[in-house]
Amino acid sequence: MFNNLRNKLIWTNVGITSVVLLVAFSTIYIFATHSADNRPPVQNTEMYSNDMEILIQATIRDEKQAAAKDLLVILIISGISIELIVVLISYYMAEESIKPVRESYESQKVFIANASHEIKTPLAAIMANLEAADIHGNKWIDNVEEETKKLSKLNADLLNLARTDLVRTSDVANIDLTKLTQELIKKHEPLLGTIKTNISLTKKYETTIAKDDYAQIFDILMDNAIKYCDKKIDINLRSHTLVISNDGTIIKNDDAKRIFERFYQVDKTADGVGLGLSIAKSIADRNNWKLTASSTNTRTRFILSF
């Protein structure tokens, strides 16, 4: 993220400098050559013969062309030198500009990870005590249990988000991705209810991949599909591509541009805080995978290319 911001600042400065240099140097070149071309002819040529006069004029013309070429070379070399200096200066200034933001962001990630880890223990204790109390039919206890589950889910999402930011690389291994996908689908079957699934998987698809990261993205996309589905979910696995689509809620173009932003929710009334897809996108980016979303009039698709 910060590398992209730094590069954007650098190329913005380089672009502006390039335009300024191009205009300035073009003006200098045009003015200089125009002035040379419009210099008055040599005076008092009566003393020279016609051949000598022609030779003098040809020599002057050649010298003007040579001077114009030399000027052009000097301007090009000067422009390249200035651009290199601008790149170095822009890199230094961009790094210095985003350094405080980067340090603050890193501290924030560490804080979220530590805080989420510390909150996890008392939440687990509350859940354990509620189960041990074995009180049924009390709406107040049921409310506490329900809200505690929501808080546990939020805390888990925050912890996962912090981990995806802090972890730079993932362990990869050669696995049967078809078999893993089938296992992940079975895990979600109890949550489907009346939702039908259309499953199309490549037979015995072996590849080298970050298994845990793939599984986490699949779970997030599947949970999202179940949450917003109406009647049917399609799961398609082909070479280097996973597509999970569902009918039901359609994503508008404005929402599609922001759907992977942290805490952004298409449906403001839905449960959750909008971290799931952001976590999936962070994991995908970390592995140099591409995760995109699109909607038609009937279906919403999430496409993971790896």
The model's pTM is 0.57
CB of 162 within 8 A of CB of 196?
A: no
pLDDT tens-place string over residues 177-189:
999 999 999 988 8
Give the residue among 212, 205, 211 at the shortest CA–CA distance from 238: 205
pLDDT tens-place string over residues 140-156:
877 888 788 878 777 77
Helices and strands in the chain: count of H runs, count of E runs: 7, 7
User: Please, which pLDDT band fits residue 43 given cuts at 50, 70 and 90?
Assistant: low
Where would I find the beta strands (DSSP E) of 86-191? 173-176
Enumerate the domain spans of the chain. Answer: 1-166, 173-305
CA distance 8 to 22: 21
Fold topology of 173-305: Heat Shock Protein 90 (3.30.565)
Q: Tokens 């699934």 appear where?
A: 197
